[in-house]
Amino acid sequence: MLTHERSVSHHFRGGLILLLLAVLAAVPARPQQSDQPKATPQSSQTSADLWWKHAVIYEIYPRSFQDSNGDGVGDINGIASRLDYLKDLGVDAIWITPMYPSPQIDFGYDIADYEAIDPQYGTMADFDHLVSEANKRTIRVIMDWVPNHTSDQNAWFLESRSSRDNPKRDWYIWRDGKGAGKPPNNWQSWFGHSAWQFDEKTGQYYYHHFYVQQPDLNWRNPEVRTAMYDVLRFWLDKGVAGFRMDAVSRLFEDPKLHDDPILPGKNAFGDPNIQHKYTDNLPEVHEVLREVRQVVDKYPGNPVLISEADEPTIEDLDKMYGPNNDEVQLPMDFKIADVNKLSAPEFRKLLDEIEFNPLDGQPYFFFSNHDQSRTWDRYGDGVHNDQIAKLMAALLLTTHATPQLYYGEELGMRTTTPTRIEDVKDPVGRTGWPKDKGRDGERTPMQWDDSKDAGFSTAAKTWLPIPPSAAQYNVALEERDPNSIFSFYKHVIALRKDVPALRNGSYVAVNRDDPNVLAYLRKTGHGADSVLVALNMSAEPRTVSFRLQGFGVQGNSLQVLVASPKQASDQLPLENIQIAPFGVLIAEVK
Ligand code: GLC
């Protein structure tokens, strides 16, 4: 196997030449398609070299990343103190989940003031310092923008609920009930039970897609739009690099209040299953996304928009780019995130779907986040979990999609779900217990070392407990172990940046009929070596052979960039390659 240093310096020179070419050509040429077998499409890079196409984005849950003042809750200065770690890992941008003043019912997603910092996380000066320290390390800061709802403690809502004729009444969704104790219709909250809350004072119901304490804003009111776009400008003026837009598909509800269709069975909260037909994905969402894009496009530095929308179909996901690529640059791909089993055919199908989206939009992949169980256990089989963590890292980091990591994923952090309802912090876990135990399990403190609070804090008690696995899975130990999950992530991130085909190359699936090994090429079309990625998604060793001439790829051997477990040699033929259970092979075609 090539050492990391060797491969980096070799590719650094190639990278410089490519960079020069990219600068010289305002719009880099599309790779030649004529040499492709007809049935095998190839995605392309078409537009200028935008930073977010190449960035490794890292999600930070601020409560849980690093506590700098010993109160058991993470904070902004804590994040700032760990920027060198992020730089060393190869992170280009951090998305920080909400740090705004909040009653913390939904741990920050219930915002009381969009233009301030919650004192438990620090001050605005701390935030400015974080942005400036991050920028010194060429790390961008992406904010979380929560447009669908505010906290019920937000001044806007306090005004709105104060009287029926308050000027801000129409900023939220107020409706009459159908009679005493009867809400306006059957719409349900995502977090359980009716989505309508009766307000004694004014005798009407307000709509909340999420918790009762999170009233929905009325996006049909132009004043709401202006106020929320001003929020974007406030943070852009502070130098943030873009926004992750929370729950954007939920912005509008049917004005006629049609009942949602009821489906068979009951959910974890004991409510009838329901199709959120009239409260999700209404077409007006796209009008707002275009307006948001116009706001951010006025700022220099190509600010990015990332959408959180669990789109049901690939057509819906494609729409997020906008008809003229004028909406979201990076729509989160929940379909890839939630395959929930290691299936080469399933991943191949979904990769094809998004790679060849009609608008040539940039795909955006993640596997873990603060709302769903961590990859280590969700994809692990209970026997090979560490190896599978590396396999998932390779998948995340070697397609041409922009990858997003979730803090601690690079260590193999696992989901540590509370075992007693008394310990649950996330309200949804209390409403749904024991069927839905909430999201505390994936929000436990970052595991920096094997000390009592895992280097996260010095508090007697941290806000969520330190998982027992912190003793073996932590930064201090894994940085020293060349075979750790951390070292694997770091190595593959470095390859992604330094190897031209991994950085810029198009995606071409190969061995499309293989039921076990997912394999693809990354090709630049600029004369640089192509890279072959082969991921054995099965628990048995597999033997694979590749015929690559038909793909316009020169060469008849492989130079291994990274293999896990290691291959016997750094040079491999294209025939009869053995790949261990859940093994990874990333190699240049020579
Ligand atoms: C998004 C957030 C989630 C939050 C919800 C309501 O889905 O990721 O954490 O609970 O929106 O704001």
pTM of full prediction above 0.85: yes
pLDDT band at 241 (very low <50, low <70, confident <90, very high): very high
pLDDT value, residue 48: 56
513 burial via Cβ count (<10 Å: 0-12, 13-18, 19+): exposed
Closest atom, ligand 1, to C-alpha of 146:
12
Q: Are 177 and 247 in contact (CB under 8 A)?
A: no
Distance CA 290, CA 570 (A): 49
Residue ranges of E strands in 44-193: 57-60, 93-96, 140-145, 174-175
Peptide bond into 103 cis (omega under 30): no
Residue 264 CA to ligand 1 center (angstroms) comes to 26
Three-state DSSP state, 382: coil
Q: State yes or no: pLDDT of 437 exceeds 50.
A: yes
HEC states along 563-585? EECCCCCCEEECCCEEECCCCEE
Considering only CA atoms, which residue is closest to atom 9 of ligand 1?
371
Q: State yes or no: pLDDT of 10 exceeds 50.
A: no
Pick the range with the lowest mean pLDDT from 2-11, 288-297, 561-570. 2-11
pLDDT value, residue 1: 27
Tell me what the mean pLDDT of segment 514-534 comes to. Answer: 93
Query: Does the beta carbon of 109 sit less than 6 angstroms from any atom of ligand 1?
Result: yes
Residue 186 CA to ligand 1 center (angstroms) comes to 22
Distance CA 151, CA 156 (A): 9
Tell me what the mean pLDDT of segment 424-433 comes to. Answer: 96
Closest atom, ligand 1, to C-alpha of 148:
12
Residue 246 CA to ligand 1 center (angstroms) comes to 6
Residue 190 CA to ligand 1 center (angstroms) comes to 10
pLDDT band at 408 (very low <50, low <70, confident <90, very high): very high
Q: Residue 246 catalytic?
A: yes
Residue 195 CA to ligand 1 center (angstroms) comes to 15
pLDDT value, residue 527: 76
Pick the range with the lowest mean pLDDT from 30-44, 244-258, 543-557. 30-44
Q: Residue 5 catalytic?
A: no
Q: State yes or no: pLDDT of 23 exceeds 50.
A: no
Burial letters for 285-311: b for 16+ Cβ neighbours within 10 Å, e otherwise? bbebbeebbebbeebeeebbbbbbbbb
Q: Which residues are CB-neighbours of 398 under 8 A, at least 6 positions away?
A: 492, 495, 496, 502, 522, 531, 533, 586
Q: State yes or no: pLDDT of 488 exceeds 70.
A: yes
Considering only CA atoms, which residue is closest to atom 2 of ligand 1?
246
Query: Does the beta carbon of 247 sit less than 6 angstroms from any atom of ligand 1?
Result: yes
From the CB of residue 5, how many other CB atoms can be counted at a distance below 10 Å?
A: 9
Query: Does the beta carbon of 210 sit less than 6 angstroms from any atom of ligand 1?
Result: yes
Query: Does the beta carbon of 280 sit less than 6 angstroms from any atom of ligand 1?
Result: no
Closest atom, ligand 1, to C-alpha of 371:
9
φ and ψ at residue 292, rounded to 5 degrees: -60, -45
Tell me what the mean pLDDT of segment 469-476 comes to. Answer: 98
pLDDT value, residue 215: 99
Instruction: List beta partners, residue 578.
Output: 543
pLDDT value, residue 525: 78
Three-state DSSP state, 477: helix
Closest atom, ligand 1, to C-alpha of 369:
8
What single DSSP character describes residue 171? G
CA angle 358, 363, 366 (to 5 degrees): 150
Q: Are 542 and 536 in contact (CB under 8 A)?
A: yes
Considering only CA atoms, which residue is closest to atom 4 of ligand 1?
109
Write down the residue that tokens 């929905």 correspond to. Answer: 216
- Which among 59, 106, 152 is the best mutation to test ligand 1's pocket, defined by most ligand atoms within 8 Å of the CB? 106
pLDDT tens readout for residues 83-118: 999 999 999 999 999 999 999 999 999 999 999 999
Structure tokens at 531: 């890279």
Structure tokens at 95: 């998305």
Average pLDDT, the chain: 92
- Cα–Cα nearest to 519, from 403, 341, 395: 395
Distance CA 551, CA 31 (A): 12
Query: Does the beta carbon of 310 sit less than 6 angstroms from any atom of ligand 1?
Result: no
Residue 110 CA to ligand 1 center (angstroms) comes to 9
Residue 276 CA to ligand 1 center (angstroms) comes to 16
Query: Does the beta carbon of 371 sit less than 6 angstroms from any atom of ligand 1?
Result: yes
- Cα–Cα nearest to 582, from 397, 391, 394, 376: 391
Query: Does the beta carbon of 246 sit less than 6 angstroms from any atom of ligand 1?
Result: yes
Closest atom, ligand 1, to C-alpha of 209:
6
pLDDT tens readout for residues 327-364: 999 999 999 999 999 999 999 999 999 999 999 999 99
Tell me what the mean pLDDT of segment 239-248 comes to. Answer: 98
Structure tokens at 56: 């490794």
Burial letters for 439-475: b for 16+ Cβ neighbours within 10 Å, e otherwise? bbbbbbbbbbeeeebbbbbeeeebbbebbebbeebbb
Residue 109 CA to ligand 1 center (angstroms) comes to 6
Structure tokens at 91: 């992170």
- Cα–Cα nearest to 501, from 519, 524, 520, 521: 524
Three-state DSSP state, 305: strand
Query: Does the beta carbon of 407 sit less than 6 angstroms from any atom of ligand 1?
Result: no
In Å, how far are 61, 68, 317, 382 from 467, measured between CA atoms?
16, 20, 35, 17
Q: DSSP assignment of 399-449, as one string?
A: SSSEEEEETTGGGT------SSGGG--SHHHHHHTTT---SGGG-PPP--S
pLDDT value, residue 510: 97
Q: Are 105 and 213 in contact (CB under 8 A)?
A: yes
Q: State yes or no: pLDDT of 38 exceeds 50.
A: no
What's the length of the chain? 590
**259, amino acid identity:** D
Instruction: List beta partners, residue 533.
Output: 520, 586
Closest atom, ligand 1, to C-alpha of 109:
12
Residue of 308, 377, 426, 478 marked catalytic: 308
